[in-house]
């Protein structure tokens, strides 16, 4: 069979990009070391398999030299060691998936004559975080009094997501790349990102993170939408202003806004909190339907906890929540319900309707929704109520 000549530099770039050990790839492709020495090359069928294993389009292997691949969005992440981190292929591919969805939806919404949301880029990092947070709560109808419908803060997260989607922000939540369970997303690398746009702003939340982490991330990324500065973040509720450097102005502001969205200081200051930290933490979480981690963060902001006491309490609570999650038995879930959580239903309904009306190719619809066949497409269409 005919062999394809591939640049050894491109082969090694593709392997390292995917984080694939040389020994592992050589076991899968016995002649890989020979290809690197320009002794022959893969057949086209082998190349297709190699491309699938390394998560790259086949066409990339025909480049004369490795491309310069940068993070597709501004990088607001703060690394633990203070340095930079090469973005994983999982992060890059997830951003590309969301960018394609966002571009498609923008054209769809703009073409329909819909009125764009007015809040994208309406604020500035020099504004008062409490004022911006108040705007977000008002737009999303997320005021504290309306949260009583949520029995727990996990239920509040679902409510928070639904309200955000209704406001005109696309919300995508996933813990893997597409539907590939072999490509998990690492919350330590990133917790979320925002893509700002006047017609189709998009927020992605890393579903591999804890539910409490997802609540804070959603609020944080909404702040990015409000100031019109999209990018990738890994902020959490325990990121305090004194921990962030002078080059983290945007992240400090978005963290402050997120904390105010979830637990307004004006209301917290008027509460008669118990002196016991655990009781006070539980009371705040119950009143505002937020996580106990955010509750501890706001107790620190209120001056009820010192820096060291906050860190100790936060770490202990985080360990407790992680153990609690592990103890829960997974039911496996329903794929279509899972997809409804992963992909914004407004986006999915629009894609399905456009495909059924012939405005979008069926193959493009499959790719946008990460589904593989027409049977799954029809079931998802019925699940969303697009067809009966």
Domain boundaries, the chain: 1-50, 89-262, 335-383
User: pLDDT value at position 281?
Assistant: 95
Residue whose token pair is 């990018």: 231
Report the 10 Å Cβ neighbour count for 179. Answer: 15
β-partners of residue 192 are: 205, 233
332: region left, alpha or beta (phi > 0 left; psi from -120 to 50 alpha): left
Q: pLDDT (tens digit, 9 = 90+) per residue, 233-281?
A: 998 887 766 555 555 889 999 999 999 999 999 999 999 999 999 999 9
CB atoms within 10 A of CB 4: 17
Confirm if 285 and 153 have CB atoms less than 8 A apart. Answer: yes
**pLDDT (0 to 100) of residue 83:** 45
Checking 348-356 for CB contacts under 8 A at 24+ apart, the result is 348/380, 348/384, 349/384, 349/385, 349/386, 350/105, 350/108, 350/109, 351/104, 352/377, 352/380, 352/381, 352/384, 352/386, 353/386, 354/108, 356/381, 356/386, 356/387
Q: What sign for the dihedral angle of Cα 203, 318, 76, 92?
A: negative
Task: State how far the Cα of 268 lies from the Cα of 280, in Å rounded to an integer.
Answer: 11
Is the separation of the CB atoms in 311 and 243 below 8 Å? no
**Cα distances (Å, whole numbers) of residue 313 to 88, 145, 171, 317:** 32, 28, 31, 6
What pLDDT tens digit does each residue of the chain (388 aa) get? 688 889 999 899 889 888 788 999 999 999 989 989 999 888 889 899 998 888 888 888 899 898 877 788 999 987 544 445 678 889 999 999 999 999 999 999 999 888 999 999 999 999 999 999 999 999 999 988 888 788 887 889 999 999 999 999 999 999 999 888 888 999 989 999 999 999 999 999 999 998 888 999 999 999 999 999 999 999 888 776 655 555 588 999 999 999 999 999 999 999 999 999 999 999 999 999 888 999 999 999 999 999 999 999 999 998 888 787 666 645 444 554 556 678 999 999 999 999 999 999 999 999 999 888 999 999 989 989 898 7
Residue in 180, 236, 187 with CA at minimum distance from that of residue 209: 187
The pLDDT score that the predictor gives to residue 245 is 52
Longest dimension (CA), the chain: 78
pLDDT tens digit string along 45-69? 989 999 888 888 888 889 989 887 7
Mark 142-173 as b/e (b = at least 16 C-beta within 10 Å): bebeebeebeebeebbebbbebbbebbbbbbb
**CA-CA-CA-CA torsion sign (52, 56, 57, 61):** negative
3-state DSSP assignment of residue 37: coil
pLDDT of residue 166: 95
Q: How far apart are CA 167 and CA 137, in angstroms?
A: 11
pLDDT, position 366: 93
Distance CA 347, CA 109 (A): 10
């Amino acid at each position: 069979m005919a062999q394809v000549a591939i640049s050894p530099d491109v082969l090694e770039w593709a392997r390292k990009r995917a984080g694939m050990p040389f020994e592992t790839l050589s076991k899968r492709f016995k002649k890989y070391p020979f290809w690197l020495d320009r002794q022959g090359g893969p057949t086209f069928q082998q190349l297709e398999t190699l491309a699938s294993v390394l998560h790259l389009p086949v066409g990339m292997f025909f480049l004369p030299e490795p491309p310069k691949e940068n993070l597709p969005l501004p990088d607001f992440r703060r690394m633990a060691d203070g340095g930079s981190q090469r973005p994983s292929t999982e992060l890059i591919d997830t951003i590309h998936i969301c960018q394609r969805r966002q571009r498609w939806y923008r054209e769809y919404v703009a073409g329909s004559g819909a009125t764009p949301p007015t809040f994208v880029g309406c604020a500035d990092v020099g504004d008062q975080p409490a004022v911006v947070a108040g705007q977000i709560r008002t737009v999303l109808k997320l005021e504290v009094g309306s949260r009583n419908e949520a029995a727990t803060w996990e239920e509040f997260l679902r409510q928070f997501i639904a309200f955000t989607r209704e406001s005109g922000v696309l919300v995508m939540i996933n813990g893997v790349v597409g539907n590939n369970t072999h490509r998990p997303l690492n919350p330590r690398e990133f917790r979320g990102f925002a893509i700002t746009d006047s017609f189709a702003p998009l927020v992605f939340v890393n579903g591999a993170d804890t539910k409490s982490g997802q609540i804070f991330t959603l609020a944080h990324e909404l702040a990015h939408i409000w100031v019109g500065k999209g990018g990738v973040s890994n902020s959490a509720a325990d990121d305090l202003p004194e921990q962030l450097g002078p080059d983290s102005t945007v992240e400090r502001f978005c963290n402050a806004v997120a904390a105010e969205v979830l637990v307004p200081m004006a209301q917290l200051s008027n509460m008669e909190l118990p002196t016991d930290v655990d009781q006070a933490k539980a009371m705040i979480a119950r009143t505002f339907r937020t996580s106990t981690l955010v509750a501890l963060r706001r107790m620190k902001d209120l001056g009820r906890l010192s820096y060291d006491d906050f860190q100790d309490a936060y770490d202990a609570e985080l360990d407790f929540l992680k153990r609690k999650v592990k103890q829960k038995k997974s039911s496996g879930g329903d794929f279509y319900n899972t997809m409804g959580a992963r992909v914004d239903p407004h986006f999915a309904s629009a894609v399905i309707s456009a495909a059924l009306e012939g405005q979008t190719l069926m193959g493009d619809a499959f790719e946008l929704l990460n589904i593989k066949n027409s049977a799954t497409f029809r079931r998802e269409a019925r699940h969303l109520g697009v067809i009966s």
